[in-house]
Chains A and B, each alone.
Chain A
Amino acid sequence: MSYQADFKVWRGDTDGGDLADYTVEVNEGEVLLDVIHRLQATQAPDLAVRWNCKAGKCGSCSAEVNGKPSLLCMTRMNTFVPEETVTVTPLRTFPVVRDLVTDVSFNYKKALQIPAFAPPKDLAPGEYRMAQVDVERSQEFRKCIECFLCQTVCHVVRDHDDNKTAFAGPRFLIRAAELDMHPLDARTDRAEFARDEQGIGMCNITKCCTEVCPEHIKITDNAIIPMKERVVDRKYDPLVWLGSKIGLRKS
């Protein structure tokens, strides 16, 4: 079953732009990215959009669909009624490059600031032993496909460019949590780093990030909240925490 659907797609560049109207064919089983591709092939060959895998695995095709940060390749057309006009705009939190493509370099800068995994000094490659239950907590965060939807939705930076210096954003708070919960990471100051350098205190747990995450990572409950608590706890009882970390390593 095919039908003609109406779209508004933001076209423009660093000098500004506007929503452009298009009517495009939609077929059964298609996702929004298919429609954008048809638009490119038939009406707007120079429409700029990022994508790679078309399977929700690479996190390239992020945009805002009717105002909601989404992956274009995982937005099925049957979630709209045929009469509905679908509006597609670039991620709001990052500067536009062209059309649906934004400059996401902010995220790469934040990634560069987090101290890397510190390998345990006493273990040679091949000697690492970790229990499945212990790696699972960090594995949840390593599912992140870096679509940056959480980064764009978070109100701390969404309309507040000036907060971008102090706040790393949810994606990089889960990276800190991931390293903190890694059974063999040799550093012990991940939570303090999140507080002092990543601005975890600016997060007021609205959970908007968790809601948009296409990987269903429980960003707030499993990473941010435990990290916030960890910072508080450790001030009082660092030994308890250290002991638990060493315990994990032996298991």
Chain B
Amino acid sequence: MSSLEKHSYDVIVIGAGGAGLRAAIEAREQGLRVAILCKSLFGKAHTVMAEGGIAASMGNVNSKDSWQVHFCDSLRGGKFLNNPRMVELHAKEAPDRVWELETYGALFDRTKDGKISQRNFGGHEYPRLAHVGDRTGLELIRTFQQKIVSLQQDDLAEYGDAEARLKVFAELTVTELVKDGDVIAGAFGYYRETGAFVLFEAPAVILATGGIGKSFKVTSNSWEYTGDGHALALRAGANLINMEFVQFHPTGMVWPPSVKGILVTESVRGDGGILTNSEGKRFMFDYVPDVFVDQYAKTEAEGDRWYEDQENNKRPPELLPRDEVARAINSEVKAGRGSPHGGVFLDVSSRLSPEVIRKKLPAMYHQFKELADVDITATHFEVGPTCHYVMGGVEVDADTEGTAVPGLFACGEVSGGMHGANRLGGNSLSDLLVFGRRAGTGAAEYVAGLGDKRPSASEADLEAAGKAALEPFHADAQTRPAGSATPENPYTVHTELQQVMSDLVGIIRREGEISEALEKLKGLRVRAENAAVEGHRQFNPGWHLALDLRSMLDVSECIAKAALERQESRGGHTREDFPIMDPNWRSVNLICSLTPGTNDMVLTRKPVPTIPVELLSLFKRSELEKYLTPAELTVLDGPNSSSTVAGEQA
């Protein structure tokens, strides 16, 4: 590929969401030359859609909040399967990362004394989410975009070139990571606008590509969420962990059909909204699981008092972690107590005045008014579960975000471990900030450690990458896999894939159905290889989808394989045939990887990193007994354990 356009940088960041931009800023501030690559225009990444807020224990609204409480909430939310070191770093560093945003120009909503305001969210003990109305993600993206502009202005002044050390290549899709032997050497992709190929050579690549929701039919996610980063990492030799854990957000829009899946922010419940069934009953009181009975209100009266007086009352069960609420809604609908279009009712109109609703939830008001003709200040509205977030992702080192492949880093939704079996609302945006920055540092240290050595891509690999990307244009009879007579429409294959995943590996799973899904995925893979596109390479969505399908199939296979293997129910993985959360499974991570040199996906087991005793001691023993095995609990009986350590930490 002699005519191939080539660029050379110190660090390539793939993804311009919150994680990628924070990583890029960090690497650039540490003196490296950085390129950011993204599929959409700059400023449009999925993070703009985030609504509710950023979780950080600043204690502005309730001064009792601390990193320790945030740590415990996140671990509980993740059903103790999280990587404890990540949870610790996240809880400790999130406040600094939020305050830093103000120095970049972010304007959060304020408390009466002028500090950053914080709101309640499911699973968070205290009001913890820094927010801007219900458009927090937009604020985050715009703030980073403007910070990047400011760094570019510095470079313009210093070098006469705004893009001397930090450049954004927008509307560019990476299709392959390239390696030099065992180490990363760069990324290969195409410009969406022209279809031309381009190579970025760099000793460090940071994946920040977000999630996988487009493999499911009903989702809150955008077209970008095809799991590219997950698939790129897998093919480069990194591991994916926890892929069976997919979060279904309990409240997506269900009507009209064209908006089905669009998110209704959890803030609606955080600010007082209640869930009712067709009989008008607040059904969540019937669904408080054992592990949470001590933390949630038993009566409506107590739940209602909590909004005013959190010291003396417990929170209403509408604010249970998302997996619990999504399952409850699913059960109500199944029992025939759903709303007309197969959801349940969410209501703020009877709880807050129209003025307050419009002020606190302006985007939701707008969204329902314009898309569904519903006035949420006047009436309840229908909601139901929607595929929202993937807890699973690339396995990383907690401190540096490095993966199993030297030079490859991952942060944000594409990485795994931080959220365990279920993510708390607000913990993603803080995750992007904390681990985005750490990935930037990790990459900078790695590059410094290389000295003058620079890996380079081999000509053969580039040829192969280019050939693979052009296959959809040549799906003619000779190259067509055996058994497939006609070329496939990529849109049709995509729709069928979504149907398979939603029907067979969705919110409630069974062995027979998952096995069936795995069979069907095999068939879809053959058909995807046979997807043909019309037209030429300039901005051709059919071609783009044909390529994205490969990532979606890789990711779907990982999800299904891991879901079949895990014979218990925990967080974002519910098995009807194994309904119990089993402490013996708590310490097991399922790892997806490719057998080197092949396309065979294998599943292996690895222990979840142990929770250090000083962190375990932050919990009451009675609570730990619900999650850990008796053998695991014995560490608490050791000489330098429990009470003293807990005392220091409290």
A positions within 8 Å CB-CB of B? 13, 27-31, 34, 40-41, 45-60, 74, 76, 97-99, 101, 104, 108, 111-112, 114-117, 119, 125-126, 128-132, 135, 138-139, 142-146, 179, 182, 185, 251
Contact = CB atoms under 8 A, between A and B. Distances in A.
Nearest to A125: B99
A101 B193 CA distance: 9
Interface in B239-281: 255-259, 262-263
Nearest to A41: B491
Contacts of B99: 125-126, 128
A5 B251 CA distance: 32
Contact of B40 (A52, A54, A128, A131): A52
B366 interface: yes
A31 B258 contact: yes
Interface string B27-49: 00000000000001111101011
B103 A119 contact: yes
Contact of A130 (B110, B152, B257): B110
B155 to A, nearest CB: 11
Given A55-B371, A57-B363, A126-B99, A145 B138 contact: yes
B216 to A, nearest CB: 15
Interface stretch (B79-87, B536-544, B570-578): B536-544
Contacts of B489: 41, 45
B637 interface: no
Nearest to B366: A56
Contacts of A34: 258
B142 interface: yes
A123 to B, nearest CB: 8
Q: Which 7 A-B pairs have the closest CB atoms?
A: A29-B256, A116-B150, A117-B105, A46-B535, A45-B542, A129-B114, A48-B539
A251 B46 CA distance: 36
B356 to A, nearest CB: 14
Contacts of B108: 135
Residue from the set A45, A108, A139, A145 with the largest chain B CB neighbour count within 10 Å: A45
B370 interface: yes
Q: How big is the B interface, by class?
A: 35 or more
B120 to A, nearest CB: 18
23 contacts: A27-B257, A29-B372, A41-B492, A45-B491, A45-B542, A46-B540, A46-B543, A48-B541, A50-B40, A56-B366, A56-B371, A57-B363, A76-B371, A112-B149, A112-B152, A112-B153, A115-B153, A117-B104, A125-B102, A125-B103, A126-B58, A135-B109, A145-B138
B615 to A, nearest CB: 25
A119 B114 CA distance: 17
B534 interface: yes
B146 interface: yes
A48 B540 contact: yes
Contact of B367 (A56, A58, A126, A132): A56
Given A55-B371, A119-B103, A125-B96, A139 B132 contact: yes
A45 B533 contact: yes
A233 to B, nearest CB: 24
B107 A142 contact: yes
A99 B539 CA distance: 9
Interface of B: 40-44, 46, 48-49, 58, 95-96, 99-100, 102-105, 107-110, 113-115, 117, 132-133, 135, 138-139, 142, 145-147, 149-150, 152-153, 162, 193, 222-224, 255-259, 262-263, 363, 366-367, 370-372, 489-492, 495, 533-536, 538-543
Contacts of B41: 50, 60, 104
Given A55-B367, A135-B108, A185-B105, 5 more contacts: A31-B371, A45-B542, A55-B259, A119-B105, A130-B107
B262 A132 contact: no
A70 B125 CA distance: 42
A187 B541 CA distance: 44
A59 B40 CA distance: 11
Nearest to A31: B258
A56 B491 contact: no
B542 A46 contact: yes
Given A45-B489, A45-B491, A132 B153 contact: no
A150 B417 CA distance: 43
A138 B103 CA distance: 15
Nearest to B222: A52
Contact of A116 (B42, B113, B153, B372): B153
Contacts of A129: 113-115
A9 to B, nearest CB: 14
Contacts of B372: 29
Contacts of A41: 489, 491-492, 495
B49 A13 contact: no
